[in-house]
Chains A and B, each alone.
Chain A
Amino acid sequence: NAGVTQTPKFRVLKTGQSMTLLCAQDMNHEYMYWYRQDPGMGLRLIHYSVGEGTTAKGEVPDGYNVSRLKKQNFLLGLESAAPSQTSVYFCASSNHRDRPNEQFFGPGTRLTVL
């Protein structure tokens, strides 16, 4: 099993460009999450999904959109990138049947917006 994978691993964008980050998991997990990690701050939740076709806002959703068309994939989109979105992005998934739930993390995507 690959677990949680993320593509791409690195990306450099210019202000105003758009891009999509892909997260895929092969553990048949219902719950998926997108976080960003910035220096001096803890991981912050951007958006999450509790199942195929459903998404919800987290702590810092502005400037991002998400989609969960397939259970195994969770996409994070930046429509018009800004320098403030320079960060490391982590995807995670968990099994909704576990209470409390352990989250499994992807390797991260380092995004730089110039």
Chain B
Amino acid sequence: QQPVQSPQAVILREGEDAVINCSSSKALYSVHWYRQKHGEAPVFLMILLKGGEQKGHEKISASFNEKKQQSSLYLTASQLSYSGTYFCGTGSNDYKLSFGAGTTVTVRA
């Protein structure tokens, strides 16, 4: 079952912060975050495994609350290069991912 992402779209000015949420009705073992630029393939950002961990890469971080079956991606001090569509992919007890519908992030100068 497809996870639900919110918001659908967000517009930021450089330096602003944003949060993207991903929730599932199924028990999750992992959450994967990808960013896709227009016309390109999704690029892996990070994976969060069951255990409520938090990860970060430069100014992009994420958290995973397994009890609530939710994950959030935090964009801090956004840069122009952060523009794109962010997808969460949720993993259960197999090796397939279910992708959310995506959140389009536009960062303006």
Bound pair (A, B): no
